[in-house]
Chain A
């Protein structure tokens, strides 16, 4: 009798423990997503109102050249950001994996930027890339009079300065993930390949890198959500400028919802952002997880 009660308790405790979190998630994540969707179908301005206007906000949104620019910027930013972080991170991980001296020191140096917030990173890079204060001024004063590096104040190039700062911040993190992956690979396979006469680059390309697939998977998921969420970095570095040339969907959403009092319009842009995350992430998740 006693025993079965204990057994029951043992079985149900996990459920009891998980239930509150689960409920909170349902309400505060999915419930609020639904609420946001409902808002996006209204004509709310200053405060939420329930005067429904159908998909008017979405139609207006996709008629706005500023929104298209935000999407274009997001595409440029996230693709370059993810590709560069993975490429440089992999290279660094492979170098560090060569049993070098002071490995711990190098690891710390490369990982360190991650300890900073995007606000700090943005401020530093904004100073360094400012033509009147940073790199350009320094090189010109060294005697190279014609040196210019003014991407930060150039409407067409400013988005790439955001990529530079973001890559600097996140590469170390990818490196650590990949390094852990490299360390987990069975050395015997590599030795066997060496005996068979395979060159080192070939071993990396054909044997090691394919085995890192799950690590790449995690890295891409993490980087992608950082990319879509990026807000503070742009606010600090360019404030969306020059003009609004570095605007991203997240900034667009904030601007319209909160400083321009177009709550429903902002909500519609937030729904599109969610849709993007789903379009890119869900199939990828599904595909990768199914294989296991």
Chain B
């Protein structure tokens, strides 16, 4: 009976909130497991501050379904208050003149101080804030099953030469050296880490972010393709089409030794009841120590006709970059806070290392946007690069042909 009363009370409270608070409509595609839990935290925060979160969740298609919904709403002149949009797409939306200026919230809450410089420029259009970052994922992780390495008598590699030695031993011992999901974005995820490792941060910036034709067609790029080919020879034949989490499962089940994946893989290990340090390790992709490829989720805010809604929207922006939300959200999602100075206690070791690396890399210009995860270039160019990489991966094209194809593909889309 008391339980019933409590539920009834909660429902009443919810009802009254939605009666009195101004609605803030938020479009997102965080609909699964930990993500959904994490986003409901934001909802609670906003509701507790006197507004009403109106959920506009569109699942599926890695966000492309949500984008389709967003486009039709914007065209109809009725955009939501906020929408989950990241990377250079923010600039594309800003060019259309539909985004709200968040400079007053930013100033009042000191965003310029809180956010590393390399992050700031992504969320600013012509010097004004138009988007709010939520979290940071690190891409250049390598997930390792130490038991497989022990059984094969191999060392965990820190360079590609060591990688080859280790992978040969692992293969000989009857394991799959690299668990790979054969989907274009996963192939690109490996490739960008290789480019970063072989070319270094300056080269990565030039080739993958500035799309400099000389860098794209260079010998360094060719060598990166060679390395990608070498890694492919250590994957199993059944990789095509495999989802990334199934590849992670191959690692924790002891079938495979390594996987190259962003830090969301951590969630798969912990769901399977595995412990970091004993059951699995997270190390940097060979040759990328000290560099940090980031993937940041963010919300863009649309101009609203109703002044109350604008207020609600700014409240949302403010809450997102507060320590409280950054902590709760990122612990649930498995990412790390985008702002500096968040209390460290609630985070696990991998997250803490990631946070320290952001701090360190921010001062050495080795904090770089991920191309595979929509942070570096427009979706059209990203797609063209994906086509080149996946064609190379799934055929016996030579590295020099792939390098030429890459230069052409980027040139056509520019």
Contacts and interface: CB of A to CB of B under 8 A. Distances in A.
B182 A241 contact: yes
A45 interface: yes
Contact of B182 (A126, A237, A242): A242
A32 to B, nearest CB: 13
A40 to B, nearest CB: 16
Contacts of B68: 258
Interface in A11-47: 45-47
Main secondary structure of the interface of A (DSSP, over half): loop
A193 to B, nearest CB: 52
Interface of A: 45-48, 60, 66, 126, 130-132, 150, 152-153, 155, 158, 237-239, 241-245, 255-256, 258-262
B75 A239 contact: no
Most buried by A among B96, B237, B240, B393: B240
Contacts of B67: 258-259
Interface string B57-69: 0000110100110
A63 to B, nearest CB: 9
Contacts, number: 82
B379 A238 contact: no
Interface residues of B, number: 33
Interface of B: 61-62, 64, 67-68, 71, 74-75, 89, 92-93, 96, 182-184, 236-241, 378-380, 382-383, 387, 390-391, 393-395, 412
A153 B237 contact: yes
A155 B380 contact: no
Contact of A131 (B62, B96, B238): B238
A237 B242 CA distance: 11
A137 to B, nearest CB: 10
Given A131-B237, A243-B391, A259-B61, A45 B92 contact: yes
Given A46-B93, A259-B64, A243 B241 contact: no
Contacts of A258: 61, 64, 67-68
A111 to B, nearest CB: 30
Contacts of A238: 240-241
A158 B240 CA distance: 10
Contact of B241 (A239, A244, A259, A261): A239
Given A132-B236, A241-B241, A261-B92, 17 more contacts: A46-B92, A47-B74, A47-B75, A47-B96, A153-B237, A153-B241, A238-B240, A241-B182, A242-B241, A243-B390, A244-B184, A244-B387, A244-B390, A255-B383, A259-B379, A259-B383, A261-B378
A259 B382 CA distance: 10
B240 A241 contact: yes
B387 A242 contact: no
Given A243-B390, A260-B379, A153 B92 contact: no
Contacts of A241: 182-184, 240-241, 390, 394
